[in-house]
Each structure stands twice: as structure tokens, then as C-alpha cells.
Amino acid sequence: MLQVPFIRQNKEFVLERLAHKQFKELSLVDEVLALDDKRKQLTMAYDDTQAKIKSASEEIGKLMKQGQREEAEQRKAAVAALKQQQQPINDELNATEQLLHDTLIKLPNLPAAAVPAGRTPEENVEVRQGGSTPALPANALPHWDLAKKYDLIDFELGNKITGSGFPVYKNRGARLQRALIQYFLDYNINNGYTEYQPPYLVNADTAYGTGQLPDKEGQMYFVGEDKLYLIPTAEVPVTNIYRDEILKDTDLPIKMTAYTPCFRREAGSYGKDVRGLNRVHQFDKVEVVQLVHPEKSYDALEDMVAHVEALVQSLQLPYRILRLCGGDMGFTSALTYDFEVYSAAQQKWLEVSSVSNFEAYQANRMKIRFKDGGGKPQLVHTLNGSSLALPRILACILENNQAADGIHIPPVLQAYFGSGKIG
């Protein structure tokens, strides 16, 4: 969430950056400032009335001690009248503060200076590519056919049990999933991240803290009776671990990792581009999250990008890194890098990770602060990244490593998988 004093002091800058992010409701900036003006006026009126009540109440005590009961009763009547005047001011102040908050949270995070201009994914900027595209046999199959051929994933069974977008992994398919999860977690832990196993359901405060509410409410599964949300990513519960806490500057950076299933409604997704594992409603993902000192957040972002890049490289997959343009960025992000791996069988790029710096946007919602020496508490900066999302990684491993004698498992996974080949 943006901060009102910053908006007031930098209005033209805020408008320019919001436009860079292709945000259409720029009039909300003026609405926020007008509501803040009204809030200040009402606060002054409330405080002025409260001062009069306090002064009159002190006079009542003095008059009673002096035996001037009639004058004291007059003052009591005046205090009662002042309290009656104060109540509607208080009610309007509370309503204005709520409306200010509700309007403020409609504003997305400002994009950083490094965010390229653009409206669509086609305008994202390629930072670099790595790996090499394999030469597949002429009869190469997409992963959904390989899954059927080797009895790895049953898409029809998932549809029977739950519905479209809920695949059932089985046999060596389930084992490969487990191998990937364990490898990703070990990789992150060996690089200084502390493992957590968070809940898969969160309350509204938690979803609000990372910006899923109200922005992505329609994309989340909601358990109505208990008013809980199934998590779309481990970022949501893990970042909230430190909600409403004041840390020491020596605590930073805090580096956390977690494996969770993720649940996304993906409303409106259909067609050939979402076939198989390309887009599903339930999938597994290992996440990395950092809480860092504001002055070090962009160094941390580059470190996280390098961390994910090395992980993708270890799987020997062809990949590219994109810096997202303003129009393709998430609501809460200040700067995002996407990782895509190349599916040789489908001949297309598939996104497998986003690594983002949210600066103080999420921390302001969650009130995650730190004290730098003896100074006032400051907001931390939050970052997160997929390390990695499994469905498309699994799809590319199957497709890019198929050969006449079966599917070859990347060397780094063989000890986890227990074999070097499927088939």
C-alpha cells in the first residue's frame, strides 16, 4: 500500500509512475488526497471539541470544590452538549478514514525506474538466454502424450475426481514430483534459506497483507463457512509470518523457503495454450521470500534472480529471463523478472518463475518494520520468487529429455528420483 504523505509530496511523480504501469484510474490519487484533507479537518474538529470537554470537565471539579453547584451543573450541561456535537464528528471521521483506506488500497505499487514501458507481454524486455534447445526425434511428443505413454499423469482421472485442471500424478510421475520438491528445497536451504511448512488456508487479513485481496479475490478459492482462502502461493502465508512485528536491523535479511500446493481458479483460461500442465488449478511450488533493509533490496533482487537462474541451469533446461514492462506487472510489484523455459516439443516458452521486489508496498499493509539503531521503526522491503513452480518444469523435463529409449532424468535429480531414466 502506498503512503499518503509520499503521494502528497510527490503527486506528479506518482501519477507518472501509475501511468507507466498502465493504471487507468488516476483520479483515485486526487480522491485519496481529498479524503485525507477531510480526515485532517474532522480530526481537528474532534480534537478541538475534546479540548473544550476536557477544559469544562476540569472547571466542574473546581466549582464543586468551591461549593458553586449551580455553576457546576451549568458546566455539566455544556459538557453534555459538546459530547452530543462530538459524536457525529467522530462517526464521520471513522467513515472518512475507512473510505480513505478503501480508496488507497485500489492504487497499485509504483513501478521502479528500471521497469520498461509497455502494455502487453510482447513488450517485455529479454535480459538474457541460457542453455541449449535439444534436438528431438521426429516423433517427439508433448508432455500430455508422454504422461499417458509412460503412465505418469492421469488428467482424465483428475477431471473425474474434481474437475478440469486437477491432474493426478501416479507411479514415476508422482516420484518425479517428489524428487523435484525435495531438490528445490535442499537447494534453497543450502543457500541460506530457512524452511517453513505453512498452512494452506489463510484468513482475509493474511491475503490482504500480500495484496491478494482485494486485487485477486476472484482468482482465489474461498471456503465460505469458515471465511478462509486457499493459498495461490506460499508467498502469502510465509511473508505474513512477520506481520505486525518490529525487527532489529541485525535480523535482516530474513530468508525463508517453503513448499506448498497452490490453488488458482484461473477463471477464463481455456484452449490449446492451457492444455496438460500448461495451466492448472492446483499445482506444487517451492517459494523463496526475503525481508531486507530498504537500501539493499535491489541487490537482494539480483541475488534472487541469480539464485533461480542457477537452479534452472542445474536442470539443463533452455531458459530466458524477461524484465516485465509496466503493463504486464503484478499489482503489488515494483520490479519483476520472469523466467521461462523452452518446451522443444510444443515449441513455445513456458513461464516457471517470477522474482519480484515489492519494496515497502506489502510491508506497509502488514506493518513489518525494523529499528535501525535508536531510530524510529522503518518498513522493510519484501521480495519473493518461485524456486520453482513444478508443472511447466516437469512438462519441459519430460519433453526436452525424451529419446528413443525413454525419458532421461537430469543428473542433479537422479539421486532424488532413484533412477536415471523413465522407460
Binding residues for ATP: 264-266, 280-283, 351-354
User: How do 254-263 and 194-196 pair as beta strands?
Assistant: parallel
Query: 90-110 in b/e burial notation, b at 16+ Cβ within 10 A?
Result: eeebeebbeebeebbbebbbb
The binding site for L-serine consists of: 233, 264, 287, 384
User: For residues 293 and 381, is the Cβ–Cβ distance under 8 A?
Assistant: yes
DSSP string for 172-190: HHHHHHHHHHHHHHHHHHH
Radius of gyration of the chain (CA): 27
User: For residues 377 and 369, is the Cβ–Cβ distance under 8 A?
Assistant: yes
The binding site consists of: 233, 264-266, 280-283, 287, 351-354, 384
Question: What does the block give as the cell for 75?
Answer: 458546566
Cα distance between residue 210 and residue 146, in whole Å: 37
Query: 340-379 in b/e burial notation, b at 16+ Cβ within 10 A?
Result: bbbbbbbeebbebbbbbbbbbbbbbbbebbbeeeeeeebb
Nearest residue to 139 (alpha-carbon basis) of 404, 341, 401:
404
Cell 539503531 belongs to 373
Count of beta carbons in the 10 Å neighbourhood of residue 268:
7
Cα distance between residue 34 and residue 100, in whole Å: 9
